[in-house]
Structure 1
Amino acid sequence: MTDAAIVVKFLNQTEGRDKFSKLMQNVAKMLAHVSTEKTTADQMSNLAKNTADARKIFRLGKWLSEYVKLQEILKSTGNKNADSYALSVQFASRLFFAGYWVYDNLVILRKIKVLQSGDLKSLSKRAAFFWTLGLLTGILLELYKLQKNLEKEKVLLAQEREKSRAEGDGEQSPETASARKSLASERFTIYINIAKNLGDLVTATNGIELPHKIFGKGFSDGFVGLGGAVSAGLNCYQLFPKK
């Protein structure tokens, strides 16, 4: 597959286009904040705002995907080997995201005047509230996965040491090496997911005015843009097709 074909495949994904647009939106937001030339700042600001609204249009009905995920989680609870804690946290996270998408949809419908009632600022704040809760529970889930991952590696290494002592062989077995590589790959994904959520948390908490209450003022557009760009960039990395 050629490089151009890989890029086209990436952009043909609905989620891929959204995350690329999100990256463009937040980079523009940063540039608008740091630009010393008014014309450039206005152009970047308009690009960021219009890209944000365009992305919201394509997210209409996205709460349905969360409904499907919630149904799948509920089905998984019937499995006797299922991790009830992980499923509970995952369920809470997806439920909060469903609330976020509902209010996110209401925001854009009110903005384009399909809905005639509803305070735009209030709707946006509620969307940010559910987004914040979804991100926090998402981080909690990833930290739990990280703990389980490290515990598995600890047990694996302990078993390998016992085997080495019994056999008098200090070399790591191919099976252990393969298992550790798999665990390391899983940890890398966990770290990326945590970083993505932390990046989005900057925008979400700013939306509910949490920094205003803690620091006496909100995060700057430059910092919000940086957080969103980090999240979007990592999402693009994960979604980009491998050769």
Structure 2
Amino acid sequence: MSGEPASCDTATVAPAAAETGSDVSSKEEHRSPAVHAVPVKDGLATKAPISLEAYVQTTSKLDGRDKVTKIMQYGARFLSWYFTSVAPNKALQERAHLLYRTTQVSRKAFRMLKVADEAVKIMAIAQNKQQRGTLKGKPEHCHGQPTRSAAMGLFWTMDNLHYLTTTKTVAYGHQRALKVFSRCWTVASLCMIVLSTQALRETGQRRSALAEELARLTADAQSPHTAVEKAAADLRAANAQHFKNCLALLKAVMDLTCAVNISGVDLPKKVFGKKLNDGVIGASGIVSALTVLYNCWPDQPKGASLPQQQRQITAAATTTSTANGSVPVAAATATTAT
């Protein structure tokens, strides 16, 4: 007789434990995905893996070749500083400095008549069309975008004149070109910082809304599988766009660091009494070039495997039929195991 109550208690407790385990498992699976400040994984997931083929595709573009050369230029500038101030070695310093100066001049040949790019952008703005790159032609950008494009147009013009003066094709004057060059680059970089900040605010709000929607759908066992997949895909796309905007802001800050150090602005010299050293400028130039290489790098081939996070979301949203109705797979598995 004493065994019967115990048996009844066990029968009562076991299902309760199973139900509790199922609920906990479901909540764990349906937890709202984290919205990281800088979604690096989703940003990198849109690009093809590092390979020789991807590198060739990147360098087949003018910007790709230019930025690879820019990494050489600013890398050599950094090494020139390193072998002067950190690990003095006159022979290596001279080699690095020569490479820096040579690549500096050679890059300018890539950029002849790039003012045409900015002219096209300004015409597109006038026609109220979407702008190329990470930012769109929206009303709040109507002043920043044209100002940036105009500044960059003058920047490219001065860069061309500086190069033609070096080759003795024209006699415009190096210092004369540099003064306008640095001021225009500074203005363009400041505009880009403002535009990128606005874009980050917009994509940040969109990401939060999409994350909430995805959490709501995954928490509802009756949500269609296709709806969950679409919400997850939209969130990944928003994350990738946010990552691009982060890189745009980073590039603008790095470019501004270089621009204000050139004659014509000389902000560090005016504020601190000396220019920024080549170590700072070299590192800034390398980072700036890498952000553009990301944009030039080929996209992930279609049909590539989904990221791990997406597979987890899909698994959590997939449902299976049971005698009691439709139950999430994870919850059904937990119940069966218990």
Provide the TM-score with structure 1 as the length reference: 0.88
User: 2:269 matched to 1:222?
Assistant: no
Q: Which position in structure 2 is the counterpart of 1:191? A: 246
Q: Which position in structure 2 is the counterpart of 1:50? A: 102
C-alpha displacement at 1:119, in angstroms?
3.1
Q: Which position in structure 2 is the counterpart of 1:104? A: 159
- The equivalent position to 1:236 in structure 2, one of 293, 302, 309, is 293
User: 2:191 matched to 1:137?
Assistant: yes
C-alpha displacement at 1:162, in angstroms?
7.5
User: 2:112 matched to 1:64?
Assistant: no
Partner AA of 1:227 in structure 2: S
Q: Percent identity?
A: 25
| Per-residue Cα deviation, 1:32-69 (whole angstroms, up to 9, x for no partner) | 11111111111111111111111112211110111011
Residues 173 and 48 of structure 1: CA distance in aligned 2, closer, same or farther (over 3 Å): same
C-alpha displacement at 1:154, in angstroms?
3.6
Partner secondary structure for residue 173 of structure 1: helix
The 10-residue stretch of structure 1 (8-17 or 105-114) with the greater mean CA deviation from structure 2: 8-17
Question: How do 1:1-243 and structure 2 match up within 5 A?
Answer: 3-35=51-83, 36-76=88-128, 83-116=138-171, 118-157=172-211, 173-207=228-262, 208-242=265-299
Query: Which stretches of structure 1, 4 residues or more, deviate above 4 A after TM superposition?
Result: 157-165, 167-172
CA distance in 1, matches of 2:122, 2:251: 22
Q: Does the 8 A contact of 1:77 with 1:84 survive in 2?
A: no
CA distance in 1, matches of 2:105, 2:64: 17
CA distance in 2, matches of 1:114, 1:16: 27
Q: Larger radius of gyration, structure 1 or 2?
A: 2
Partner AA of 2:125 in structure 1: I
Residues 168 and 28 of structure 1: CA distance in aligned 2, closer, same or farther (over 3 Å): same
Q: Does the 8 A contact of 1:96 with 1:130 survive in 2?
A: yes
Q: Does the 8 A contact of 2:250 with 2:288 survive in 1?
A: yes
Residues 146 and 32 of structure 1: CA distance in aligned 2, closer, same or farther (over 3 Å): same
C-alpha displacement at 1:169, in angstroms?
7.0
CA distance in 2, matches of 1:64, 1:222: 33
Residues 214 and 7 of structure 1: CA distance in aligned 2, closer, same or farther (over 3 Å): same
Question: Unpaired segments of 5 or more residues in structure 1?
Answer: none
Partner AA of 2:79 in structure 1: L
C-alpha displacement at 1:3, in angstroms?
3.3
Q: Does the 8 A contact of 1:107 with 1:124 survive in 2?
A: yes
- Higher helix proportion, which one? 1
The 10-residue stretch of structure 1 (230-239 or 91-100) with the greater mean CA deviation from structure 2: 230-239
C-alpha displacement at 1:157, in angstroms?
5.0
C-alpha displacement at 1:158, in angstroms?
5.6
Provide the TM-score with structure 2 as the length reference: 0.64
C-alpha displacement at 1:183, in angstroms?
1.2
Partner AA of 1:198 in structure 2: V
Q: Does the 8 A contact of 1:212 with 1:218 survive in 2?
A: yes
Aligned residues: CA RMSD: 2.7
Q: How many residues align?
A: 239
Residues 42 and 177 of structure 1: CA distance in aligned 2, closer, same or farther (over 3 Å): same
Q: Does the 8 A contact of 1:153 with 1:180 survive in 2?
A: yes
| Per-residue Cα deviation, 1:15-35 (whole angstroms, up to 9, x for no partner) | 111000000000000001111
